[in-house]
Structure formats: C-alpha cells, structure tokens
Structure 1
Amino acid sequence: MTAVPGGVPGASLEAVPEVREVEVADGVVALVNGDGGAGQSNSVLLLGEPVTVVDTMLLPEMAAAIPAALERRGRRAGLVVNTHIHTDHIGGNLLFDDAPIVAHPRTVAGMRRMIGERGLPALLAKVMPGFATRLADWDSVAAEPVPPDGIERALPSGAKVLEFTDTHSAADLAVWLPAQKVLVSGDLCFAGVTPLAVHGRVGRWRAALDRLIALEPAAVVPGHGGPAGPGVLHDLADYFDRVLAAARLAHAEDLPAETVWAQFDPGPAAGWLEPERTLVNIQVALAETTGKPFEGVHRVRQGQHPPHSH
C-alpha cells in the first residue's frame, strides 16, 4: 500500500485527502480517497489492455494521483469509465483529454444537463462544505454515451459490466472481474460510510445488492471507503433492510420519518460515517412506500442530528 499526495501546488486552502494505493488483485489497483466521506470517492485502475480508469474523483487535485500511479508503472490510461453521474466520480475527467471517456447513456444525458449549470458550484459547496472553496469553479467534461455491452467490449479482456437503473442514481455501472473475483462496485457499495439514496430508490438498490452478493466476490472495491471482503455487501443489505422496515413502520402508523429515525437501530452500520444520511434514506423509502415523489436534499436540515446508536 502506497500513500500518494493528491494535491497540486498553488491549490486553495482546504486540504486534499491522502490517496492510498491498494493492490487488490493482479492488475487491479484501488486508489482510496481519504476516509470515503462526502466528496472522497475512489478510483480503480485496471492494468490490462486497454489500461482503464474507473471513476475520476471530485477534483483534478485529487485525480492527479491517478496518472501519477500509472506513470510509476510505465503506463497511460487508454480508457476512462464513469460509473454514474455524481460529481465526486467525474471531476477528474478533465485530466484525461487523450483517452476516451465513456458512461451509460442515461448518465451522459444527465451530465450534459448538469455540467456548466450556473448554480451547481454553490450547491456542491453546501453538500460538501469541506471542499467549498475548491468547488467555487467546479467543472468537468461529459463522457460519451456507450451502452453497457459496448463498454464491456472496450474493457480489458474478461471484464464484465453490470448495469443497474434507479438504484443509487438513474444509472449505475459495476465492473466484475471473474478471473480475480473482484467487484468494482462504484457507489452501489459503500464501506464504513452511510450510503445516500437521494437520487435513487432504496428498494431497487437493495435488490441490486442481492445480484452482487450472488457473484460471491473475494474482494469488493466500493465507491467510498476501503476495499473489503464480501461481508461489506451483506452489511449494506442489512442496513437497507432496516431502512425499509423503518419506512414501512412510518407508513403503517402514520409517523413522520424523523420519528422512526430517532429510534432507528443501525445494526452493523453503527459507527459508519455520515450517519445523518439515514434520515434522507428513510424519507426516500417512505416516498416509495406511499407512491409520492421524494423532493428532498442531500443533507438533513441544519440543527438536526442523527440519533445515538443502539
């Protein structure tokens, strides 16, 4: 495991998290960004042909660790895959103008609407206040739309692309490496960090986890947090089962989401980062239960705090 400085000279004052290299399997390197909290997402290097970068972090200063890691190995990126639309996975696209950047067509349609929106940097600063100054002029480039089977054909030999819609986001891709039994999950899996379903559907995400668990991976590289064994998928499934149960209780007894959140037992999720996201997840699940659209925000309202763990 190697520590890689993620910053660049002259950057603004907020600290860029340390990026750690983790050799997950032969030809698979995870670049683990900080502790995986808000704005700190991972990238993965697949060192076959073409050399493939999966996700590019939030900021070019963070993503600078990607070409640096490749250069030390005498390699260059030949392909970039964005697993989904969220800014903390596409912000380093700007560094890869000499490699094709591809993503699911639904992801790209959203990217094209999102990138360049006048109010986006201010919104990002509210969602990820730890990087507010750096996000003042956040920008990226959109990927090219390629169907999942086309992305699979472009990946190194043997890699499989798994497609999920309306789970964590409108469209999420995972990369499965059956020879190494490694799952590169994107944000379909978080490790030690509370997930966020504000742009997806809790029920569909929970079902997607069953599909990932059935692969029986030896190692999982999550979108946030360090690489882990297959238990990380089971823990996340357990967490979502609890969220769905809380939403059913709120619906059955006509309780506000805040009430069931106050008595929520996180089980194995106790101690995960960003625990306030559980309220948002319960609200999303409750909207699914009632059939009403969820119109929420990424974070709980100012002054609200998650309950104590049971």
Structure 2
Amino acid sequence: MNAVPAGTATRREAEVADDVVVVVNGDGGAGLSNSVLLLGNPTTVIDTMLLPDMAADIVTALTRRGRAAELVVNTHIHTDHIGGNRLFDGVPVVAHPRTASGMRRMIGEPGLPALLAKVMPDFAERLADWDSVPADPLPPVDIERALPAGTRVLEFTDAHSAADLALWLPASRVLVAGDLCFAGVTPLAVHGRVSRWRAALDRLIALGPDVVVPGHGSPAGIGALRELADYFDRVLAAAHLAHTEQLTAQAVWARFDAGPAAGWLEPGRTLVNIQVALAEIAGKPFEGEHRVQQDQDPSHSR
C-alpha cells in the first residue's frame, strides 16, 4: 500500500442545501480550508483555499454543474482562504476593506513564504513561491447586495482576524461561517481576540442555523458553534486563572480540560489561544496580531 504524501488531502463535495455546495478540504487541519459555492445569481465562490491546485477542484465542481464563477468573496485575510484567487481571472474578487488592505500589504512580502512554511510544514515545498491576487475592498453592505438574493452578510472585527465575514442564508437556514467556526479542529486566535470571537459565536448561535459550514472541518449543525463556545469559555477561564494566580500560560495549559474539544486536530494551538487571552486580560496593547511562542509539550502535540 502506497503512503499518502504529506500535505495531500482528499477534497469532496457536499450539497448542504439547494444551490449550496461545499468543497470540503480534507480533515480541515493546518492549510486545509473549505470553499463554498452559491449557485444562485450570480454564481459565487466563497474562499479559494491555499493553493491553485486545490482551487482547481472548485472550478471542477462548478464546471460539472454547467457553471462558472461570477463573483469571489474572501471571508478574511488568511492565506489558506485566498491562495486560489488567481484561478478566477476576470472575475470580481471582493473582501471587507480591512481584509483587502491587509492583503495588499501581505502579498509579495519577501518573508511570507518562509513564514507560511513554518506555520504549515506539510506544504512547505509548495509554499516557496506562494502568491495570490488581492481582493477589491467592498463594504459588507455592498457585498450583500452583490450576492444571490436573500443572502445576508455578517461582519465581525478583531475576532478570528482583523475582519471576518459570515454568510447567513435564512431560507435554507445555512450559515457559512468561514473561520469563525472550526469543526473538529482546534481554532487559532493569534490574529484576533478570544473574548470577541467568543461573543461572535453568541451572535451566530442566536441565528439558529440547521447547517453550519465551518472554515475547517466537515459541515455540521449548531452543536459545532456551541462546542466552540464551550472551548473558548475554557480558554478564557484558564487565562483568568493564570492572571489571578500569576501562573504562566504553559502551567495552566498543562492541566487544561478541553471538554468536548478533546481529540480535536491541532491541540497545540490551545497554548497559543491561552497566551492571546492572557494578553487581553493583562491589558497589553492590541495591534491585530499577538506574537507568541509555541513552546509545546510533546504530550500536547498532534
């Protein structure tokens, strides 16, 4: 039996409602994000994965249905959601103004490929020349007008990233959550604030979705949002304990009870999330990114 090369993932299509197709990217671990196809008018692609060869499966899914992309929306700035933008030449690509501005600064930075290779080692060789096309800035209200009728756009800032968009389809009760939801995968709050992400989850839960499409992991129900909220409650409690007892993030992480999140992929991210939450509680200046060290105990590694 041949071994599967590192960084290889099986992408599959899941039709979660009429005219809503998810291209699920592997197990949702580091570098493996989902894309969503809205087959209304206009035909819309939500996020384009990390690499063009991944995004080729998005094009294949559209072609199989006799469709071509007419609009691309990037939910946020992270490279694993924007790397396939260049496959949609001639198609409008839009994002929140904060996201678009950050993309213009980020894309082409000389040190970016090396940083990406460190964060996503399974794809290190394929990230040596990583590049993308920045989105055009468009306010959320205008993105909503451009999307298929009945789609609502929800805006969140400094939660998972500087700016995140979620799409709510009330007719089918489908929530396209982007990276505001991870399902079966430990989230990463290094570019946001844990407390604001936790509050964002309350807004999403209040919608009462039947289907939640996460940025990473398989489509799920509202339980995925509730489990993520529980996880962040535990992270915030650990950070408060560290602050009150003057303990290190590593000390509280060593005895962290993940509850329903036990067994999720990428468990070492919990240390980072505790460090970010602790920085918030300590009142350290927030500039959109907390630079923290991941000194991981092998017992907490994936």
Same fold at TM > 0.5 = yes
- 2:32 aligned with 1:37: no
- Aligned residue for 1:195, secondary structure, equals coil
Partner of 1:9: none
Query: Distance between the aligned counterparts of 1:296 and 1:161, measured in 2?
Result: 30
| 2:242 is aligned with 1:250 | yes
Identity of aligned residues (%): 74
Structure 2 counterparts to residues 91-170 of structure 1, below 5 A: 91-170=83-162
Q: 2:180 aligns with which of 188, 201, 211?
A: 188
TM-superposed CA distance for 1:14, in Å, is: 5.1
Q: C-alpha distance in 2, partners of 1:241/1:305?
A: 24
Q: Distance in 1 between matches of 2:10 and 2:171?
A: 30
User: What is the CA–CA distance in structure 1 between the aligned matches of 2:265 and 2:234, rounded to whole Å?
Assistant: 17
Residue 50 (str. 1) matches residue 46 (str. 2): no
- Partner residue of 1:296 out of 271, 291, 295: 291
Structure 2: distance between partners of 1:16 and 1:261: 31
Summarize deviations over 1:257-283 as a string: whole Å, max 9, x none.
000000000000000000000000000
* SS of the residue 1:175 aligns to: strand
Q: Distance in 2 between matches of 1:260 and 1:15?
A: 32
The 1:14–1:273 alpha-carbon spacing in structure 2 relative to 1, beyond 3 Å, is: closer
The residue aligned with 2:72 is 80
**1:214-246 deviations in whole A, cap 9, x for unaligned?**
000000000000000100000000000000000
Provide runs of 4+ in structure 1 moved above 4 Å.
Answer: none
What is the root-mean-square deviation of aligned Cα atoms in Å?
Answer: 1.4
How has the CA–CA distance of structure 1 residues 230 and 140 changed in structure 2, closer, same or farther, with 3 Å as cutoff? same
How many matched pairs?
Answer: 295
Could you tell me how far 1:151 is from its partner in structure 2? 0.1
Tell me whether 1:66 sits opposite 2:55 in the alignment: no
- Residue in 1 aligned with 2:223? 231
CA contact (8 A) 1:261 1:307 kept: no
Q: Which SS does the other structure have where 2:113 is aligned?
A: helix
| Structure 1 alignment gaps of length 5 or more | 1-12
Q: Which runs of 5+ in 2 are unaligned?
A: none
Q: Report the alpha carbon displacement of residue 110 of structure 1 after superposing the two structures with TM.
A: 0.5
Identify which of 290, 305, 308 aligns with 2:298: 305
Q: 1:164 to 1:201 in 2, by over 3 A?
A: same
Offset of residue 307 of structure 1: 4.2
Report the CA distance between 1:306 and its aligned residue: 4.8
Asked whether the 8 Å contact 1:263–1:307 carries over to 2, the reply is no
> Does 2:202 align with 1:210?
yes
CA distance in 2, matches of 1:305, 1:107: 35
**Partners of 2:6 and 2:256 in 1: CA distance:** 34
Q: 1:64 is aligned with what amino acid?
A: A
Partner of 2:20: 28
The answer (yes or no) to whether the contact 2:191–2:290 under 8 Å persists in 1 is: no
Q: How far, CA to CA, are the matches of 2:198 and 2:276 in structure 1?
A: 13
- Counterpart Cα distance in 1 of 2:133 and 2:228: 31
Flag the 1:40–1:290 CA change in 2: closer, same or farther, 3 A: same
Q: CA deviation at 1:18?
A: 1.2
Q: Tell me the CA shift for residue 305 of structure 1.
A: 3.0
SS at match of 2:91: coil
TM, length-normalised to structure 2: 0.95
Q: Distance in 2 between matches of 1:14 and 1:254?
A: 40
Deviation at 1:304, TM superposition (A): 2.9
Question: Distance in 2 between the 1:254 and 1:123 partners?
Answer: 32
Structure 1 contact 16–61 (Cα < 8 Å) conserved? no
- Indicate how the Cα distance of structure 1 residues 74 and 223 shifts in structure 2: closer, same or farther if over 3 A, else same: same
How far, CA to CA, are the matches of 2:94 and 2:164 in structure 1? 13
Residue number among 262, 279, 294 corresponding to 2:254 in the alignment: 262
Decide whether the 8 Å contact of 2:33 with 2:80 is kept in 1. yes
Residue 161 (structure 1) shift:
0.2
Q: Partner of 1:24: helix, strand, or coil?
A: strand
Secondary structure in structure 2 of the residue aligned to 1:61: helix
SS in 2 for 1:183: strand
> Which residue of 1 is the match for residue 264 of structure 2?
272
Give the match for residue 233 of structure 2. Answer: 241
| C-alpha distance in structure 2 between counterparts of 1:176 and 1:285, whole Å | 28
8 Å contact 1:52–1:78 — kept in the other structure? yes
Asked if the contact 2:186/2:266 (under 8 Å) is kept, the reply is yes
Aligned to 1:173: 165
Deviation at 1:300, TM superposition (A): 1.9
